[in-house]
A and B are shown apart, each in its own frame.
Chain A
Amino acid sequence: MNDTTREKLSAYLDGALSEDERRAIEVEISRSEELRLELEALRAVCAAVKGLPKEKLPAGFMTRLAARRAREAKPEREYFILPPSYRPLAFALSTAVIALVVWDRTRPPEQIMAPRAGWDSEVVSVKTAAEAPDSIDLSAQVASQDSRRVIGVEEPLAAAKKEDAAGAKTGVPSTFGKHLNAPGSPLEHPQADGLPSDNQAAALDDLPGAGGAGLAAPAASAEGSNGSFIARNEEERSAINERLYKGFEEEKKRMGIARIADKDAGDERPLASGGREFMALQSSPQAPSLGRAGSVASIRGAAKAKRASAPIVKALTLKSPESLQAAWAAAGLPGEPPAVNFPEQMAIFLAGPNGCGIADVQNRTKFLVVLYKEAGFDDASARVRAVALSSKPVVVKFAP
């Protein structure tokens, strides 16, 4: 007896077979003792289940039902704003928003300012315009930047010798002799400058004219056994000085620097050793103060292999006509700077090589991004861009 026959037996009990099927199964039952016993067993099972007693409703059932109906009929607000089915979505969205805000607040500026594809430059430093003092001492301003360039150092000869000995241990180049006190005596001084030592060569390479090798050669020739820049005698000092001075003059010209620090103008910084540092980007004698100048952002070419003589370009945010005029004059630019609607607007001034200019200024959420080009701008007014007054940090990027 197979399952099909058994299933028919089950249906036979329920009277669910067709007339033909019923006759056929009755014939089979009459012929098979096994089928008959199976049928009896199924009947017993059905009878057992049918024998389960039916019960009356429990006492008070209807009353409790009515009470429950009344209770459930009250409009219960199970949610405050969103129905429960929306809660996972709301939770996920709010979590994502919080994560985004936290990430945005905590990520380092370098991450924000990482060069994008096609921009082969990197931001060296940024200072917010909001932090700018009312009256700027540009030497201090520049000195406060990580990328400031100390271009001249005057050291007492005794101190220089002392530091040379220290340099022999640390490998940090030391200073020049006492005769380097004339304005424009150039030296990239990594220790005072704060640049990492491996940036020193790059910084020196940035000096045009001396042109990397040209600058390195006298430095190398002047290197003593301790590896520092030591002028052992007057002749060596003169040779080094001449080469460095030449390179500096060219860089100064390229950057539009009117003049450098002048000890008579008081724009020097004393050194602990008793010497002095001279700073680049000083205001001209005609404009001793830039007024309420803003930030200085500098970049240095990152892809030095491509741009071996990557210039340093600085962007000033200037908030007064006087400071704009001063910067314009300091850069030795002809004519008058373009009109800027101070104080509703501020001027972004690009200090850099001749022909450079601002390609675009992008007002991002947290930054003002100044895209510049090194050449191709015949009009000096391209160095100035009027933008709405903002306290956002300025990021300078090379626009290829």
Chain B
Amino acid sequence: MSEQDFLDKHSELVYNLALRLTGNRSDAEDLAQDALIRALKALPKFRGDSQLSTWAYRITVNAWKNRVRAEKSRGFWKTISFGAFGGDKDDDEPVYEPAGNDAPLDTQLEQEGTAAVVQKALLQLDADDRAIVVLREIEDRSYGEIGAALGLAEGTVKSRLFRARAKLKILLDKVSS
């Protein structure tokens, strides 16, 4: 597959995953570009052990987790307290605070009803759980593909997806009530 073919088929997919993982368009574009450049560099070495999309997901998620770790260590990450969710927030899981004039995605989605609430709730999940939920629900990937993308066993994906859904349910219930 040529580089252009790869970009044509997977750029949007990578960008949307990045958008749901980061929560704002600016960081999503930066992350997507980072992941796509890495993918293009590694494309000649791609052995076809998995689907190309799964491979691209994996690169994107790894790039994002690296950023989270790096930013966390630099102190640029901080916990955003969502009053709507009260004390149920996981303080150990920092979420990115949008910088500059780029409005957070959840703000932009505010007019779209539940979408904004769901996005906020997603940002409350930890890195792996968020990636699992996004890949499963939004990208409609199987447990096997998610496991391949994240380097997890299928059983682990299954149980973590269940826990992530349960947590999302609690968060959404609180907002509803």
Q: Which of A7, A54, A58, A72 contacts B162 (CB 8 A)?
A: A7
Bits for B44-78, please: 1 = Cβ < 8 Å to A, else 0.
00000000000000000000000000000000000
Given known pairs A10-B158, A16-B143, A62-B11, the reply for A52 and B138 (CB within 8 Å) is yes
Q: B126 interface residue, CB < 8 Å from A?
A: no
Inside 8 A of A65's CB, which chain B residues have their CB? 7, 11, 33, 36-37
Given known pairs A10-B162, A61-B29, A64-B29, the reply for A54 and B169 (CB within 8 Å) is no
Given known pairs A46-B165, A49-B138, the reply for A55 and B158 (CB within 8 Å) is no
Inside 8 A of B142's CB, which chain A residues have their CB? 16
Give the complex CA separation of A50 and B142 in angstroms: 14
Give the complex CA separation of A62 and B6 in angstroms: 12
Give the complex CA separation of A51 and B20 in angstroms: 12
Inside 8 A of B114's CB, which chain A residues have their CB? 48, 51
Bits for A29-67, please: 1 = Cβ < 8 Å to B, else 0.
000000000000110111011111111111001101100
Q: B97 interface residue, CB < 8 Å from A?
A: no
Inside 8 A of A51's CB, which chain B residues have their CB? 114-115, 118
A16 in contact with B115 (CB, 8 Å): no
B161 in contact with A48 (CB, 8 Å): no
Size bracket of the B interface: 35 or more
Given known pairs A55-B15, A62-B11, the reply for A11 and B162 (CB within 8 Å) is yes
Q: B12 interface residue, CB < 8 Å from A?
A: yes
Inside 8 A of A11's CB, which chain B residues have their CB? 158, 162
Bits for A3-42, please: 1 = Cβ < 8 Å to B, else 0.
1001100110010100000000000000000000000011
A10 in contact with B165 (CB, 8 Å): yes
Q: A364 interface residue, CB < 8 Å from B?
A: no
Report whether over half of chain B's contact residues are helix, strand or loop; otherwise say mixed: helix
Q: B168 interface residue, CB < 8 Å from A?
A: yes
Give the complex CA separation of A165 and B40 in angstroms: 101
B27 to chain A, nearest CB (A): 12
The tally of residues in A whose CB lies under 8 Å from a CB in B reads: 30
Given known pairs A55-B15, A57-B11, A58-B29, the reply for A14 and B165 (CB within 8 Å) is no
Give the complex CA separation of A117 and B162 in angstroms: 73
Q: A69 interface residue, CB < 8 Å from B?
A: yes
A315 to chain B, nearest CB (A): 63
A52 in contact with B29 (CB, 8 Å): no
Inside 8 A of B21's CB, which chain A residues have their CB? none
8 A Cβ contacts from B89-116 to A: 112, 114-115
Inside 8 A of A56's CB, which chain B residues have their CB? 12
A73 to chain B, nearest CB (A): 9
Bits for B140-154, please: 1 = Cβ < 8 Å to A, else 0.
001100000000000
Nearest B residue to A8, CB-CB: B162
Nearest B residue to A9, CB-CB: B162
Inside 8 A of B33's CB, which chain A residues have their CB? 61, 64-65, 68
Best-surrounded residue of B15, B25, B40 (most CB of chain A within 10 A) = B15
Give the complex CA separation of A10 and B7 in angstroms: 34
Using a CB–CB distance below 8 Å, which chain A residues touch chain B?
Answer: 3, 6-7, 10-11, 14, 16, 41-42, 44-46, 48-58, 61-62, 64-65, 68-69, 72
6 contacting pairs across A/B (C-beta < 8 A): A6-B162, A7-B158, A10-B158, A41-B169, A44-B172, A53-B112
